[in-house]
Structure 1
Amino acid sequence: MIKILLVEDEIFMRKGIIKLIDWERLGFEIAYEAGNGQEALDILKSEKVDVIITDIKMPVMDGIELIKRVSEEFENKPAIIIISGYNEFEFAKAAIKYGVNDYLLKPIDENELMQTLERIKTRISSEKEDYKKKELFEYVRRNSAFIKALEIQNDDYLVSSSEDGVKKYLGISKQEAFQYEDDLAIYEKLMETEKSVNTKYSDKGMEIKCYWDSYFNLLFVVNTIQGDKKNSLVKQIFDEIRSLLNLQAIIVQEYVSSQKIHTLYKQLLRKFNFAQFYEKSGVIEASEIGEFEHYLEDKKLSKELIRLIEEKRFKDINVKLSRFFDECQNNKVSPEVIKGYILFAVLEIIDYFEVYQLFETDSIKFIFRTDIQKSKFISKVMEILDQVINCIDQNSKFNGSSFMKKIELFIKENYNRDLTIKSIAQQFYINPIYLGRMFKKHFNMPFNKYLHFVRIENAKRLLLMTDKKIYEIAKEVGYSDPDYFALKFEEYVGKSPSKFRNSVSVNED
């Protein structure tokens, strides 16, 4: 609503103007009334007014003097409409040099008044828009200069405005929604937040400046004149900002002009990421978080998760992850370290089960998000593991006995070749380590032992059914070294190949 100050010494004239039109429908409000120029000036010194409608001839201070004083004493002067009679027209023309270009002749015509108000409303709207753009431009320019100085570590620029007796506080936060909003809209929101808080706390010797860097981090610098109870006021200010911008947490620390603000900025960002990851809320003193670990001892998480997936203990997977994160939180492990560790574990699981199609999923990319919280992170990791489990269930080669029968048949048909678990895994497009585990579980023995068993059984058959020499039989069943063949044969049968052949021949006789 556009606020009007109506200045008219004749009270009946004032009331008549007020009742002449529907001001509210036109977007105006007669907010204040005055009987002369002096009363009007007193009101203007304490109240914000958009339009002055004033008579010319008035006691104490007439309209011309009022307009002159307004022109000289107020930087953002209101729009002015003069009410004049025919014999006062020369006075009205004299007022034009003070910026008046709207005037109405008495008696006031209703339509003429409404047309004049519409012109003023258009002009005020345009002026407000221009002022807002200029104000926003200045804010963006200031923000860019500060962030640039922060990035190139120009601490001289950053602390040049510090004064004796002034305490400075740096606060850091992030608003996830800002990533999806228009930049100018964000700057405007920050500027309005800054103005709102400064208006509320200016009389308490407090000043805030809001900044926004290229990584969507919000920075708040609070200057306060030192004194009693200032620390509690600083927290109130940060709470106000948190509420206005809907922020989960703000990390705050006092700094002095000799302190490198760039270094402090980096430290607070790490602490904020820690607080955000572990879902802490409120205004948090940096000292409450302290330092945290940048190293995570290898706890073989991937191997334990692989085992749980193989054993189909799906509920235990979530429990294992939750305990792992709780332990990391208790030991104050940096979120960046955790994310890197989890990513490596997930990739090991994907490689182990050879489900490489999952590597490019949005869930994998989500791990790299800087603003993700612990609960969401666990949920996303579980999504990936669920996909691994689904891939295993849907792929017939992982369905136990039917797949192992194919492996068994392949070995019996190719036992005399240079077979290894790796070569068989390549043949069936499966991870060799995983195949080795499946093999041992199905046959109750390792692959190498099973291969020797098959070869020895076929060697026994050839020893009994043919007259081939032992070295020929060794080569035929897959042993290039006859001595090694004889050694393995005796290990499995309990006697050498020649004694085995002879003992059977004697028995038959």
Structure 2
Amino acid sequence: MRRVLIVDDEKWVRRGLIQSIGWSEYGLELAGEAENGDDAYTLALAERPDVLFLDMRMPGMDGKQLLALLSAELPELLVIVISGYSDFEYTKEAIRHKVFDYLLKPVRKEELNAVLHKACGELEQREEQQRMAAQGSGRGWFEALLDGPAAEEEAGAAGRMPPDWAGRELIACAGQSDTFTEPADWDAAGLLAGLREQLNRVRPFLFGNGGWDYEAAVLGGSARTVVLAVSARRMERDDVLRVCGILQQVLKGSGCPAASAGISQVKEQGGKLCEAVQEAVQALKGRLLGQQAVILEAGGSPAAPGFTYPSGQERMFLLALQSGSSTAAQQEYTEFHSRISLETVSAGQLQRSSLLLLYAVEKQLQAKGADFTVICGKSPAAYTEILGARNDAASVARIFTAELIPAVSGFYNRLSEKQAGKVVEEMKQQVEAYYNQALSLQGIAQSYYMNPDYLSRMFKKATGKNFIDYLTDVRIGKAKELLKLSNYKNYEIAQMVGYEDYRYFSQIFKKKLGMTIGEYRNAFTCQADLQGREEPCRNH
């Protein structure tokens, strides 16, 4: 049975889909439903569905962010987007991320059936291609199984799983270096050969004097995870731990400073091998960053249950990036990274937080009409795979500090140089028009979504004055005009040019002109009188 997950924040949409799908007709079963992206992400990893119905616009993590996260974890997942007419632009963004198809709300049953028929046909075609590829490549059945999305029961029917595994218990173990290793340091074939040699040596002493079998392979992608499946008449926990210990030793012997392993729950009668592999991989991702060389069992306590994604620090980082200052962006990223790389945070939470930050950067660039791939040299999908392979804080940080931050801040710096003149001119116009109101650099910076310090430096570079001095000069200039051309009282003029405190206005006026308001008025009056006299005003 193929499995379906339905994600929409509107319950009536979920209910409608569940009631409209011909489950038995298409050989489908409901894996679950979720009303937001966060719950959907957790449920998808746990249930491993074949088909996902997804609403793109949801509170919290939206559909686009969820798609990006799941693309690394479930690359074969068929995604069918459901959206309203008003969200069509959003839907086009989903199509750019290679979703399988989309439906418009309200979903019509005939359109739903057409999409389901198409999806089931696609799944059948993929499975057939994988079976043929496995037969023609000479690869082992376990490698072929790991590369394909077919359910483990179908794999057994296709003759890929040995018959004697069917009546036994089985577990899966996933091992990985606790620090990311570069491709040049990775010899997968040599590592697997060494692992088989060590396991064959101990075969007579484990699981009832040799009554067991195993298969080992490397998961696809760049994460470099070694997966070991063990089949025995009865799983003994001590023997399972010993086998995992051997995997850790072999990984360490290949050049890793330390390696950890994740163990699945025991599966009876040889069933659910793919599920066991996924459990082992997820257990491995539960390793806390403060742990080294540990064995983690599926179903244990969740790692760092109190962890919260630092949304506020994300905003500060994005603001610093947009300022064009690489130094400021690096400083803000250091603060962000310190929040997601505590020793009590798991490797999986580190990866997920880094991916969310990556997508936030992409979204910000899109808002500027900029192409992430052109600016950074790699696509978001490529960086998703790169970050998904990093399981330690240092290797994650290097991707941002050495690649992403210099590239993106450089783009904003070039952009800001072009726009600086325009922004400064607009600021000067605002001052001329609203000098009598409570203007602040902080408020203007917020309206431009810019860092106030950066905006201040930019303004001074263009005008030779800081913002407060420029505003003060404009206000004093307006006050001089009013003193010359009107009979307003001095305190009234102070209010008319933006000063509620007359005493403060008087101090600023004298500081700027070297005379009091009264002296300025008398001097101007004397000058006006002199125009009609032959002798100067002796008092001035």
Question: What TM bracket, shorter-length normalisation?
Answer: 0.3 to 0.5
Q: Which has the higher contact order (CA 8 A, sep 6+)?
A: 2
Determine which structure has more spread, i.e. the larger CA radius of gyration: 1
TM-score, length-scaled by structure 1: 0.46
